[in-house]
Amino acid sequence: MTHRISCELAEAPLAPGEVAIVGAGPGDPGLLTLRALSLLEQADCLVFDRLVSREVLALASPKARRFYVGKASRCHALTQEQTNALLVRLAGEGRRVVRLKGGDPYIFGRGGEEGEVLIAHGIRFRVVPGITSAQGCAAYGGFPLTHRDHAQSVTFVTGHRKGDGELILDWSALAVPHHTAVFYMGLANAGTISRQLQAHGLPASHPVALVERGTTPEQRRVITCLGELVATIAREGLTPPTLIVVGEVVRLADTLARPAAQVAILAEGEVRDRVGERVAL
């Protein structure tokens, strides 16, 4: 049975010619906000990214036109400029548009850039925050991002640069104890991340969690250390989207991880722990 969400949760109904930039969360449809669901049900047009899950898309009105504008490294369905133009065109046609982004649209989601374009064209828009990948992957991976004993601060960091340029960050500010650094889109620059953090003071044994497709049924969590980061990624065959979390909080993963997130059933009655260890049943 389908339950429709009251428009009151969206503050006001989505108006013709208005764009809602909506965070879809990290993948699990249960992490979508009620306001986001309300707007999905009202949309005439849905403009969505690669990281928006099929389960979330299924919650939109079946009558809504769908436009895929996903981006991967060196492979874009549409460029950002073309996506901007699409939003302007649809709004100009009087459509009620939901621009759906994985995670949170204002955390490495380019939502701010799209908002600037809409303002420049006199188009009304609103923003709905979403649970970002860092929050979802950490919780489902079994560790917090902050902890009084292990991390008093956390930093979200982009792991790639515009145009595949050199990754230039304040490494000394990231390579400090009792701190968690979360790298989005960092697989391609894992070698740089490992080398720079060690060069600026973190030991090779410093714990790292890799969470692939976090919060989805395909989630895989691998625990490693800075010195083994690149080798671990290659050995496990990890692919985007994979979040890299560096910090002492990772040591809590085996204590706090939910049982369902810790093991994956393999053939012949064997299980593999998410840290990669095989154990007999």
Place of tokens 């939901």: 98
Q: Which residue of the set 71, 104, 162, 170 is catalytic?
A: 71
Place of tokens 């960091």: 157
Let me know the angle formed at the C-alpha of 234 by 231 and 239, rounded to the nearest 5 degrees.
135
For the record, the structure tokens of 132 come out as: 């970002």
Has 101 been annotated as catalytic? Answer: no
Q: Which residue of the set 49, 104, 149, 164 is catalytic?
A: 49
CA gap 272, 199 in Å, rounded: 33
Has 71 been annotated as catalytic? Answer: yes
For the record, the structure tokens of 253 come out as: 């993963």
CA distances from 194 to 145, 161, 201, 202, 204 (A): 19, 17, 11, 9, 8
Place of tokens 């759906």: 100
Would you please indicate which residues are annotated as catalytic (active-site) residues? Answer: 49, 71
